[in-house]
Chain A
Amino acid sequence: MVTKEEIIEIIFNSIDEINEQNETHLVKNEKTKLFGRDSDLDSLGLVNLIVSVEENINERLNVSISIVDEKAMSQKNSPFKSVETLTDYLMQLLNQA
C-alpha cells in the first residue's frame, strides 16, 4: 500500500527536476496548478512532469505504470489539474495495481 506522503514526495521530486531543467518556478505545494492559465507549466512542461513522475514511481516503488490511460483522459475532472488531484489519482491507480 502506497501512502499519500510517498506520492507527494515523488511528485515534489519531479517538480524539482522540472524546475531545474526548464527554469520554471513551480511551487511544491498540494494546491499548485499543473495546467491552465494559473499554472507555471506549459503543455510540454506538463508532459515532462508526468513522464518524470512515471519514472520516479518506477524507480522508487518498482512499479511500471502509465499515468495517462484512457480512464484518465475520459475523466470529467482531469487528474492533472493540480498536485492534489494528481496525488489522489495516483493513490487510486497504485493501490489498485
Chain B
Amino acid sequence: MTDKKVMLITGTRKGIGKYLAEYYLQKGFLVIGCSRGESDMNDENYKHYCLDVADEIQVKKLFAVIRKDYGRLDVLLNNAGIASMNHSLLTPVSMVRKILETNVVGNFIFSRESAKVMKIHKFGRIVNFVTFAIPLKLEGEAIYAASKAAVITLTEILSREYSPFNITVNAVAPPAVKTDLIRGVDDEKMDKLLKRQSIHRFGTPKEVCTVIDFFIQPENEMVNGQVIYMGGV
C-alpha cells in the first residue's frame, strides 16, 4: 500500500478538473484522474485513465487497479459533468439521457465504488459538484440543473449511508468560473447572472479549492451531507 494519500478526480482533462489535479499534486497527493480523452499532464504522481464515467464495467476495472496498485483511496472528487444550455423545447431526449448518464449515473457509480475501497481503512472524503443553476432556477438549464439536483439528493443520502464507515459526502456549487461549460453563454447573460450572486464577479478554480480543502480535511468529521454555494448565491 502506498504511504501517500490517494485522490481520485473525475474529468481531469480540462477546466476545473485539470486545475484540481495540479493543485492536489502540489499538496502531495497521489492523483488518479480520468476522462474520456487523453490527458497532457505529466507528473510522476499523476496517473490518467481514459473512460466514460457512466460505464460501470470500465469504472470497476479502474477500481480494481486502485485496490491492487495503491491499496487505498482517501478522497474522491466527482467533478466530471456535462451541460447543455438550451431551451427545453429545443433539447433532444438523447441529450437529456447523456447528461443524466454522466452527471447522475457516473456520480453514483464512482461514489459506490469509492466507498467500497474507503471503508477498508474506515476513512474517506467524497466531494460532489453541483450548481447555482438550481437555487437560481436558470432558464435554459432545466436538464443540467435537474441532474445536479439529483446529485444533491445523492450527497444527502449517501452521506448517511456511508457515515458508519467514517466517509463524509459533501457538495460544492462553484461560482461562475470561466470554463468550457459557459463558453457558449453571451456576455450580457453572464453579467446578469453575476449580479444574482452576492459577489458580482467570476470565481477562480483556486477559490473552489478552499471549499474542497475544508471538506476533505481528515479532522473534518462533523460536516456531512452539506452543500456550499459559492459566490454568495
Binding site for B on A (CB under 8 A): 44, 48, 51, 54-55, 58-59, 64, 66
Contact = CB atoms under 8 A, between A and B. Distances in A.
A86 to B, nearest CB: 18
B61 interface: yes
Interface of B: 56-57, 60-61, 64, 67, 116, 119-120, 164
Q: Would you call the interface of chain B mostly helix, strand, loop, or mixed?
A: helix
Contact of A51 (B56, B61, B116, B164): B116
Contacts of B57: 64
A66 B112 CA distance: 11
Given A44-B164, A58-B67, A64 B116 contact: no
B64 A58 contact: yes
Nearest to B116: A51
Nearest to B57: A64
A61 B51 CA distance: 24
Contacts of B116: 51, 54-55
Nearest to A44: B164
A51 B119 contact: yes
